[in-house]
Amino acid sequence: MPEIIEGTKPTRMELLNLKRREKLAEKGYKLLKEKRDALILEFLNVVKEVRTLRKEAEETLAAAYKNLLVAQSELGIANVRQIADIIPSTVEVNFYSRNIMGVSVPNIEIPETKRTIIERGYGLLDTSSVLDDAAKKFEWAIKKLIMLAEIEGTVIALGEEVEKTKRRVNSLEYIMIPRLSATVKYISMRLEEMERENVPRLKKIKKILEEKKEAR
């Protein structure tokens, strides 16, 4: 049996106050439960997106490395390394945040990672089409990896919110609402008991008053 809330007095005012709290707790429980279910659904959708993006990134990287190995066999490892040193090696991104159901999640502004031959700093006469294909695939993989980082950050934020909401739902369902209900029941029973105890007293007082009235 749930414990009653300590320090409560068996009065009608306290009973009304507890009933209001019980209704608010039940309403909050319903809203939080709906939020939890919606968050879980969103979380599962994002996890599915993560799996898709990760698979695409892995496949693109595998194809890029395959092209790179072919280019190394054609041009030599030293030449490929020398060409790689020419290509800009950084990609600038901007970090923001967006809101999903009250949860702040990362939002990365993804730049255009695809470059032209001029932007890469080499010409096809100096290299090979296989190396150029490898560069294109690596550029595409970088974009996928940045997208993956954003989505994985979203998964973490949503997962934490799901756990927090679940704890609040469980607290209301198994602790707060049962304790409020038990306390309301206790005070109701106590007030009924007090009323029953007062009936004989009231009858006795009424009888005394009637006897005094007859004696006048």
Q: Would you say residue 7 lies in a domain?
A: no
Domains identified in the chain, total number: 1
Taking residues 20-25, what's their average pLDDT?
95
Taking residues 12-34, what's their average pLDDT?
94
Q: Would you say residue 156 lies in a domain?
A: yes
Q: Would you say residue 4 lies in a domain?
A: no
Q: Would you say residue 122 lies in a domain?
A: yes
> 148-181 burial, b for 16+ CB within 10 Å, e for fewer?
bbbbbbbbebbbebbeebeebbeebeeebbebbb
Query: How far apart (Å, rounded) are the C-alpha atoms in residues 165 and 183?
Result: 25
Q: Would you say residue 205 lies in a domain?
A: yes
Q: Would you say residue 3 lies in a domain?
A: no
Q: Say if residues 19 and 181 touch (Cβ distance below 8 Å).
A: no
Indicate the pLDDT class of residue 35, thresholds 50, 70 and 90. very high
Q: Coil, strand, or helix at residue 92?
A: coil
| 2/132: higher pLDDT | 132
Show the domain range for 110.
12-215
Q: Say if residues 39 and 163 touch (Cβ distance below 8 Å).
A: no
Res 18 pLDDT > 80 = yes
Residue 57 is predicted with a pLDDT of 92
Residue 121 is predicted with a pLDDT of 63
Q: What is the CATH number of the domain that holds 88?
A: 1.10.287.3240
Q: Which residues contact 179 (CB under 8 A, 6 or more apart)?
A: 2, 3, 4, 5
- Note the pLDDT tens digit of each residue in 106-149: 998 877 767 766 566 666 556 678 888 888 888 888 888 989 99
Q: Would you say residue 36 lies in a domain?
A: yes
Q: What percent of the chain has pLDDT over 70?
A: 85
Indicate the pLDDT class of residue 178, thresholds 50, 70 and 90. very high
Q: Say if residues 51 and 152 touch (Cβ distance below 8 Å).
A: no
Q: Would you say residue 6 lies in a domain?
A: no
Beta bridge partners of 104: 99
- Across all residues in the chain, what is the average pLDDT? 85
